[in-house]
Amino acid sequence: MDRLLGAADSALRTLFGHHRAVRPCPTMAGDETVLTLPQRREAAALMRVNHVGEVCAQALYTAQAAATANPALRQHYERAAREETDHLAWTRSRLDELGSRPSLLNPLWYAGAFALGLVAGRLGDPISLGFVVETERQVEAHLAGHLERLPQADHASRAIVAQMKEDEAGHAAQAAEAGAAELPAVAKGLMRAAARVMTTTAHYV
């Protein structure tokens, strides 16, 4: 019951709460961001996708923490979720600065990611950790693509995405060190397909 209440609280805070980052938002000193209207719209769409990714990260880590019977691993997931809160706060703040909004489908994204996290957790700790490794690797590649697509003049968004990319690589390495199993190729492919649906939809909605 405690875990269930904790998961419900996490969902409400992720979807409707005001998030405060522990670390200051990344910036590029001396570089002012000045964007045209089309550049602002493109940057906002990309940052909305990144915000959705952070909503999903909260759901995944919360579900995996609830599913494991290993107290040390539960703490690992909870710590990772707290670190990802910085990303959630940064991307939401940047959306506000760009005059845009989060995805209208965030509750759906959260529910889907939470379900995936529970399934991964029920398959055992090595598989659950392997799911983290593969997820973070795909997110890292996705962020690298955004660095190529973001307007060169959008120094603010680019600084945030660059720091997020570095952090995701660290989370993948930590999960691998904790005993992650390598996922089958078919599972990786399904994860990429699901992520493609989410990112394409969140770009607009």
Three-class SS string for 18-69? Answer: CCCCCCCCCCCCCCCCCCCHHHHHHHHHHHHHHHHHHHHHHHHHHHHHHHCC
pLDDT for 5 equals: 61
Could you please state the CATH topology (level 3) that the domain comprising 2-7+42-202 is classified under.
Answer: Ferritin (1.20.1260)
Q: Are 44 and 100 in contact (CB under 8 A)?
A: yes
pLDDT for 15 equals: 78
pLDDT for 19 equals: 84
pLDDT for 10 equals: 75
pLDDT single digits (tens) 24-46: 999 876 667 789 999 999 999 99
pLDDT for 1 equals: 55
Give pTM, 2 decimals.
Answer: 0.92
* Domains of the chain, residue spans: 2-7+42-202
pLDDT for 113 equals: 93
Which residues of the chain are under the pLDDT cut of 50? none
pLDDT single digits (tens) 90-107: 999 999 999 999 999 999
